[in-house]
Every structure is written in structure tokens, then in C-alpha cells.
Structure 1
Amino acid sequence: MPPTKLLTAIVDDHPIVIEGLKTLLENEPNIKLVGGFCSGAAILSYIRTNEVNLILLDITLPDINGMDLCQIIKKESVSTVILILSNHTERSIIMQTIQNGASGYLLKNSAVDELRHCIAEAVKGNICYSKEVMEIISRPTKNDLQGVPRLTRREKEILMLIAAGKTSQLIGQELFISPLTIDTHRKNLIQKFGVKNVAELIMAAIQQRIL
């Protein structure tokens, strides 16, 4: 059984945001605030010696991003519920934090009722988003609209080698073609997937189960 009051920590790089959230939540009957933390290191140090049931976590922190911190917190304390409170509206960031163990994602301009609702849902084990975040997630991405790109056998081969972290030079040596040709394939793949760089290319290929 969860405790009657959720031991709650706020992690944000702006002390004024922490104070604002404390003021909003201090009269909530099911919440007991245990502190505000301005860095990843500070909250990690705290949860190693203290119980925390709920963490309201920002993405932008001075020492680590909230997406990675989410994963680390869940490894340290699997039962701690994490809700993201952020100004970031990129769909990829939202999806990554959920993948890394967050139970929900709200924008900082969310209403208090939305925050209350998401806390209640998250504690029940559900994943919850604020209304605006739901709209961002439900919008089809460029890749969804385009469908899975058609790749030649050679492109698939090169994509797999790029994903393995190999340079154009190494791939060229392996396939007996010039590094310039590999660079051309690399550019074509980035264009076909409608992404900006190699990191996004690999992520898109994994999402579309090409890798």
C-alpha cells in the first residue's frame, strides 16, 4: 500500500520554480514535500539515503539532462514515480523520457488540476500527459506521414555499419568503395528519413524497425 502522504521532491534548475511548486502543493492532502533540488547530483544523493515516492522533474538541469536522470533514478529506486514538468515540447524528448521510466509529462504552463490528475494517475501505475502534451504526441510525425523509406540493399548495409559507429573511411574499406561514395549514401539516407543528422537517422531507423 502506498503511504497516505506521498513523499515528494521537486527537481528544477530554477529555485523560483521550486518555490512556486512548493506553494502550490503544500496544502495538498496527499503530498508531503521533502525538498527542492537544483541538480541531478543533489537528488541522486538524497534518494540514496531517503525514501521518495514522487519526483517532479525538469528536463534542463545544470549537470545532466532529465531524460538520462530519469533512467538513473529508476535504477536506484524502481518504485519512485517520476513526472516530468518541462517547457520542452519536442515529441522525441517526451517519448524518450517515458521510455526511460517517467510516468507522465506535463508542460510548465499546465493547470494545477492537470498536475493533481497526473499525480493521481501516476501513483496508480498509469502514464499520464497534460492536454497539450497529448496533442503533441497525437500529431503524426513527418516520418509517419511519409511511411517507411524504401532502401536499396547497399543503403541497408551502409546504414547498419553507420549504426555500428563506423566512419566513412572504415565503411569504404570494408565494402571496397570510396569514402566519398559512402558520404553520398549517408546524405541520401538522412534525406530519405527526413532527419537532420546521423543520431536522428539511427533513432528513426530503430523506431521503424529497419535496424
Structure 2
Amino acid sequence: MLQNSELIQLAIVDDHPVVIEGLQRLLGSKDYLNVAGTFTSGNEFLLYLKTNRTDIVLLDISLPDSNGMELCKEIKKRSPGTCVLALSNHSERSIIMQMLQNGASGYLLKNASADELLNCINEALNGQITFSNEIKQIIARPSAHELKEVPQLTRREKEILALISDGMTTPQIAEKLNLSQLTIETHRRNLLQKFEVNNVAALIKVAVQQGLV
């Protein structure tokens, strides 16, 4: 926990100089913040992090030398006390959720207002998970698989779905259930159709998401 007299040490990782310049101008005017370093690559920042305290980092998702999601995980591994705020143009729900899963304290779009940015910085430093307003709306919208109704499966289809998810092949399932391979293939096709997917990998993924396996 920072003492009141200590300046918050903030870093910016973004490969666009104009973004860095704008953030420095905005944040540099705050007497409780010190923009301690700016970096255009992930590796540069990781080297800096070895020997310098960083309370919070504003991290772009797309960098020339690294994936921001993996970089977030590495930052939290090396310095668990550093808050990571994603600052990105990417608004895909899956990317937002992956960043949170990798340890980010929040996510903002680059079109967020100055007030939103400062509010998110303060909330992250206070231990909260924080988002810009547009990201809050994206997270509140259910994903496509959540909107779909769970397919109605027969007892046999549920049984075969469970065996498919266990990695069993059509011949193995046929032998286990004492059914013909043609019957198993028919059930497999019906499952793909009911779940509206094209392959077994997608079938298992959706079935897991809907709590069926």
C-alpha cells in the first residue's frame, strides 16, 4: 500500500508516439502521479520492471514484439503488485475477458475520456476491477453462445456427447455401447446440427460452455 507522500509510479507501453505524448501531457499534470517511463515494446518494459518500481502500467494490446495478453500475464508473474490497465482499440469481448483472466485490473478503449482514464487508474490502485464506460456496455451484453438456447438432447445423444468429449472415436463408442458405427455417426451428425457447429472441437467447446459436459 502506498504512503500518502509517495508518488504513484506509472508506466506507459504503447507503440504509437502520439498516444504516449498525449498520455504524458494528461497524466504529467497530476501531482500524485509520476510518469516514470514510456516504452514502445514489451521487452523494453520487462527490462525496466526488473529494477524499477511500477505501481501501474497502461498497456496496449498490440505491440510490435509481443502480444499484450501474454505480456500482461508475464508482468503479473514478475511483479504481482503492479496493476495492469489495458488501453486498446480492440473491443472484442473475448480479448477483454482474456486480459482479465491474465491478471489485468481493468480495460479501457483509447477513445475513453480523460476523466474515465483517471477514474480507472484510481479504482485499479484501490484494488478494484475497472472499465471505461463503453467496455462496461460490451461486458454487459451476453455473448452469442449465451443467447442460444441449450439444445434438447435425447438420453443416447447425451451419452454419446460425453464419450466424444472424453476423446473416444466412433469405433470405440460403437463397441462400448454395442451399436453400429453407422448409428454412432448418425448421432454425431445430429449433435453437430443441434449445436449448429461444423466439427467435433467446436461441438465440445459449446457443450462445455453450456454446462452439458
- Please name the residue that 1:158 is paired with: 164
Distance 1:111 1:204, change over 3 A: farther
1:72-95 Cα deviation digits (max 9, x unpaired): 100100000110100001011111
Query: What is the SS of the residue equivalent to 1:56?
Result: strand
2:93, 2:139 within 8 Å by CA — same for their partners in 1? yes
1:41-84 Cα deviation digits (max 9, x unpaired): 11111111111110000111112211111111001000001101
- Please name the residue that 1:129 is paired with: 131
Query: Hey, what's the Cα distance between the residues in 1 that align with 2:7 and 2:202?
Result: 41
2:108, 2:135 within 8 Å by CA — same for their partners in 1? yes
Query: Hey, what's the Cα distance between the residues in 2 that align with 1:96 and 1:19?
Result: 28
- Please name the residue that 2:29 is paired with: 27
Distance 1:208 1:110, change over 3 A: same
2:43, 2:65 within 8 Å by CA — same for their partners in 1? yes
Query: Hey, what's the Cα distance between the residues in 1 that align with 2:44 and 2:103?
Result: 19
1:135-157 Cα deviation digits (max 9, x unpaired): 00101222111144456322332
Question: Which structure: larger Rg?
Answer: 2
How many residues are treated as equivalent by the alignment?
198
Distance 1:196 1:48, change over 3 A: farther
- Please name the residue that 2:101 is paired with: 99
Does the alignment pair 1:188 with 2:192?
A: yes
1:98-153 Cα deviation digits (max 9, x unpaired): 11111111000000000010011100100111110000010122211114445632
2:163, 2:173 within 8 Å by CA — same for their partners in 1? no
TM-score computed with the length of structure 1 as normaliser: 0.80
Query: Hey, what's the Cα distance between the residues in 1 that align with 2:23 and 2:201?
Result: 35
- Please name the residue that 2:177 is paired with: none
- Please name the residue that 2:178 is paired with: none
- Structure 1 gap ranges (5+): 162-169
Query: What is the SS of the residue equivalent to 1:22?
Result: helix
**Root mean square deviation, CA, Å:** 2.8
Picking from 28, 39, 44, the partner of 2:41 is 39
- Read off the aligned partner of 2:30 and give its amino acid letter: E
- Please name the residue that 1:166 is paired with: none
- Read off the aligned partner of 1:121 and give its amino acid letter: E
Q: Percent identity?
A: 47
TM-score computed with the length of structure 2 as normaliser: 0.80
2:192, 2:200 within 8 Å by CA — same for their partners in 1? no
- Please name the residue that 1:62 is paired with: 64
- Read off the aligned partner of 1:100 and give its amino acid letter: N
User: What does residue range 51-90 of structure 1 map to in structure 2 within 5 Å?
Assistant: 51-90=53-92
